[in-house]
């Protein structure tokens, strides 16, 4: 079906806000205040010049003496100077338009924070408990970092990498907030496993900028942390241990049965008291060149740890992110400023006098040409990848540039916006499946505005796909998905008028589609072909059977001849002397046969045929039962007083009917045979059918039932909403 198209669509230009020009140094715009002052100074100087000229020269001689002065050219020249000055100020303000992406090489440390999440961290010897203090201290440490990569490891009975090394501190904070005693299902404290996992996470690089900061109470229930720490030192990893808790320790509170409070007990049923093991933590730190520090005041302790330990380590180059740098477009206003300043220089205030003016026009023209060349040489600039092609309606090239940028720099912070741009280019190309894929990826962005625009564009893309579906069911599914995305867009931005309008339009289309009758699914082409072949085969078989059952003329006469033989006169009766024997008796029939006997012939044949010669035996009275009575059509031998033959059969009311009982169709044996089709159709008129017709009917019902069963076995296809 075909739905109405509306051009409401958020493109890449809308997202980047290309129409809005920013400035890198807007403070230069204060210089614009001198332009009105220059205008006032120029107006005052012109006025004073006219007054002085009138003082020295009379008004009558003024046109002759001052005819070379052109006041209009003077004003044009001053206007060109002002415009050039304004454009030069604009160039100094560093106008920016568009963005470019580039790799930024920075120096920093690779740090892994290891947090003890065993149940001993629930001890409340430090408020509110040890684990909560560790989570706050880790966030304080992140605030001290600048450009360092950070990862997170949680450990209890075993260790698990919660967050890999990244410069996205927001993601690291989210991982820290998710820590609890249920993070690691295996109980106990295995500091050795945490150290080993951190070393494997750092990799094989030998740069001395890797450190592990461990937050724990030091109670190691399994493993040998000191031995593993020495192996980590050989791998170039320095460990700093942060002790949490007090040496006196405290009980470990847990939730008891019935919602009450209880404490952790050992295998003997004794209540466990967790204490801070500072000695072990000092040995671990000193074994790798680090040190131990006790967590007291979070911000102050973390600042001390960073300044005395981490800041003194060697920093390594980190090339892990792309930077989006705005493109400065100062060349445009600067080139225009040069043009107007050169024009002001070329405009002369006085009229040209050929006898006096020196030949200096050629150098000035050359200077103008040089200025113009300089203008065109400085207006070239590097465009942002993909965006320039998008603005020039070259959507295929723009899509390739966006996809290339994402492939080469998948970890860039601007990936969500580039994904949005790629979806916009795919939409313009008409590739709606790719557009849905890229818009769906951009939904993961933390930018609420980008999420809202992504929902809006997904709704428009689904509308376009519904516009091109061939069934109402598919179109209804696409429109329902589009409706949900418009609603999500309005949740993020309730003031989006375009989303409101599109949502109302989609609801109307859904209502119209629901009112339409459901379309019957057409059978597959192969099934239609098989059905057609079966029907043709049935039709051929039926015609073949009818041709086999249709008797010929000779066959139709044979039963009549047999009946005639059965009804010939018995021995002793006078036979007909006419030539032809039985056949002549068959062909000769009296005009007035008696209806009482079992005659084997009808009246029609007797009327059409004549006897070749009269005989005495033909004048015998009406035949009795079993005789084939025939009368000669000669005058004087008919019944009654009239000697002429009559077509009305003579009746014998006194005689009782005798003979064999036969069907209704057998009382006229001489009737012309009907075609075979008529013979087959005759029983149907009387509510009967032949055996062959019954077989064909049963076979067609069997085929229809089998086809219905096959159709029922087909599982209904469920529509999965896939954008």
In this structure, whether the domain defined by 384-515 belongs to CATH 1.10.3660.10 is answered with: no
Task: Give the per-residue pLDDT at 363.
Answer: 59
Kindly report the CATH number that applies to the domain delimited by 110-255+262-314: 3.40.50.410
What is the distance between the alpha carbons of residues 483 and 514, in angstroms, rounded to a whole number? Answer: 15
How would DSSP label each residue in 613-667?
Answer: S--SGGG--S--TT-------STT-SSSS--S--SSPP--TTSPP-S----GGGS
Task: Enter the tokens of residue 720.
Answer: 């999965």
SS3 annotation, 669-682: CCCCCCCHHHHHHH
Are 293 and 232 contacting, i.e. CB atoms less than 8 angstroms apart? no
> What was the pLDDT predicted at 372?
54
pLDDT score recorded for residue 463:
87
Q: How many residues does the chain have?
A: 723
Please tell me the distance from the alpha carbon of residue 224 to that of residue 281, in angstroms, as a whole number.
12
Q: Can you give the pTM of this predicted structure?
A: 0.36
Which pLDDT does position 238 carry in this prediction? 93
Q: Give the model's pLDDT for residue 250.
A: 85
User: Which two structure tokens, joined as six digits, stand for 138?
Assistant: 């880790």
Looking at residue 249, its pLDDT comes to 83
Which sequence spans correspond to the domains of the chain?
25-93+332-378, 110-255+262-314, 384-515
Q: Which residues of the chain have pLDDT under 70?
A: 1-19, 57-69, 102-106, 204-208, 256-260, 316-324, 350-385, 518-532, 545-689, 702-723
- Specify the pLDDT at position 162: 93
Q: How far separated are the first and last CA of the chain, in Å rounded? A: 20
> Which of the 8 DSSP states describes residue 254?
E
Fold match between domain 110-255+262-314 and domain 384-515: no
Question: What confidence score (pLDDT) does residue 187 get?
Answer: 84
Q: Which residue has the tokens 């087959």?
A: 680
**pLDDT reported for residue 232:** 92
Q: Angle at CA 614, nearest 5°, toward 611 and 618?
A: 90
User: Mind listing the pLDDT tens digit for each residue in 515-538?
Assistant: 877 655 555 555 666 666 777 777
Q: Is 249 left (phi over 0), alpha (psi -120 to 50) or beta?
A: left
Residue 505: count other Cβ atoms within 10 Å of its Cβ.
18
Is the distance from CB of 550 to CB of 676 less than 8 angstroms? Answer: yes
CA distances from 512 to 484, 508, 586 (A): 18, 6, 81
Buried/exposed 637-647: b ≥16 CB within 10 Å, e otherwise: bbbeeeeebee
Per the CB < 8 A criterion, the answer to whether 256 and 197 are in contact is: no
Q: What is the pLDDT of residues 320-342, one digit of tens each?
A: 556 667 888 899 999 999 999 99
pLDDT digits (tens, 9 = 90+) for 141-155: 999 988 788 999 999
Under DSSP, is residue 422 helix (H, G, I), strand (E, B) or coil? helix
């Amino acid at each position: 079906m075909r739905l109405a198209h509306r051009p409401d669509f958020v493109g890449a230009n809308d997202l980047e806000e290309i129409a809005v020009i920013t400035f890198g140094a807007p403070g230069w715009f204060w210089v614009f205040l001198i332009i009105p002052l220059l205008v006032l100074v120029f107006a005052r100087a012109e006025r004073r010049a006219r007054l002085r000229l009138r003082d020295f020269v009379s008004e009558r001689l003024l046109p002759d003496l001052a005819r070379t002065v052109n006041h209009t050219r003077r004003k044009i020249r001053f206007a060109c100077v002002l415009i050039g000055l304004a454009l030069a100020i604009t160039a100094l303000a560093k106008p920016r338009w568009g963005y470019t992406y580039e790799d930024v090489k920075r120096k920093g440390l690779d740090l892994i924070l290891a947090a003890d999440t065993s149940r001993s961290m629930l001890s409340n010897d430090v408020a509110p408990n040890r684990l909560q203090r560790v989570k706050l201290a880790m966030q304080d440490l992140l605030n001290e970092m600048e450009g360092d990569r950070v990862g997170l490891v949680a450990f209890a009975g075993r260790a698990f990498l919660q967050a890999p090394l990244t410069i996205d501190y927001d993601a690291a904070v989210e991982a820290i907030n998710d820590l609890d005693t249920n993070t690691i299902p295996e109980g106990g404290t295995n500091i050795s496993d945490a150290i080993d996992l951190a070393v494997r996470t750092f990799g094989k690089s030998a740069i001395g900028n890797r450190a592990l900061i461990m937050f724990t109470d030091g109670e190691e229930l399994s493993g040998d942390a000191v031995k593993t720490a020495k192996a980590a030192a050989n791998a170039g990893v320095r460990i700093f241990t942060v002790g949490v808790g007090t040496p006196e320790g405290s009980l470990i509170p847990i939730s008891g049965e019935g919602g009450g409070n209880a404490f952790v007990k050992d295998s003997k049923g004794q209540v466990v008291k967790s204490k801070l093991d500072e000695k072990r933590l000092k040995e671990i730190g000193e074994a790798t060149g680090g040190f131990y520090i006790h967590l007291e005041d979070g911000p102050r302790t973390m600042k001390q740890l960073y300044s005395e330990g981490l800041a003194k380590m060697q920093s390594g180059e980190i090339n892990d992110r792309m930077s989006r740098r705005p493109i400065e477009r100062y060349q445009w206003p600067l080139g225009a400023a040069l043009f107007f300043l050169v024009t002001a220089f070329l405009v002369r205030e006085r009229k040209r006098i050929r006898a006096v003016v020196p030949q200096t026009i050629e150098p000035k023209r050359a200077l103008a040409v040089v200025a113009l060349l300089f203008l065109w040489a400085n207006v070239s600039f590097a465009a942002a990848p993909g965006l320039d092609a998008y603005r020039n309606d070259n959507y295929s090239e723009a899509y390739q540039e966006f996809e290339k940028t994402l492939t080469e720099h998948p970890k860039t912070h601007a990936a969500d916006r580039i994904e949005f741009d790629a979806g916009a280019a795919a939409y313009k190309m008409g590739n709606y499946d790719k557009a849905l894929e890229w818009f769906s990826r951009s939904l993961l962005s933390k930018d609420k505005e980008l999420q809202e625009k992504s929902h809006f564009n997904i709704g428009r893309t689904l509308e376009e796909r519904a516009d091109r579906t061939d069934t109402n069911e598919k179109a209804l599914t696409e429109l329902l998905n589009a409706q949900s995305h418009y609603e999500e867009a309005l949740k993020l931005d309730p003031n989006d008028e375009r989303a409101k309008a599109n949502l109302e339009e989609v609801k109307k289309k859904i209502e119209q589609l629901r009112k339409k009758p459901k379309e019957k699914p057409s059978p597959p082409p192969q099934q239609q072909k098989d059905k057609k072949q079966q029907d043709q085969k049935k039709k051929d078989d039926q015609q073949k059977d009818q041709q086999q059952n249709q008797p010929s003329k000779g066959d139709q006469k044979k039963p009549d001849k047999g009946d005639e033989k059965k009804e010939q006169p018995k021995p002793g009766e006078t036979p007909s002397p006419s030539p032809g024997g039985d056949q002549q008796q068959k062909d000769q029939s009296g005009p007035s046969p008696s209806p009482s006997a079992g005659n084997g012939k009808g009246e029609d044949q007797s009327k059409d045929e004549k006897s070749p010669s009269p005989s005495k035996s033909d004048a015998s009275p009406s035949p009795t039962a079993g005789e084939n009575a025939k009368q000669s059509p000669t005058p004087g031998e008919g019944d009654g007083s009239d000697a002429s033959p009559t077509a009305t059969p003579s009746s014998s009311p006194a005689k009782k009917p005798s003979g064999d009982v036969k069907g209704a169709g057998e009382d006229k044996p001489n009737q012309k045979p009907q075609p075979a089709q008529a013979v087959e159709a005759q029983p149907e008129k009387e509510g009967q059918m032949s055996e062959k017709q019954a077989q064909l009917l049963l076979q067609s019902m069997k085929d229809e039932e089998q086809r219905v069963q096959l159709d029922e076995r087909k599982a209904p296809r469920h529509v999965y909403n896939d954008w």
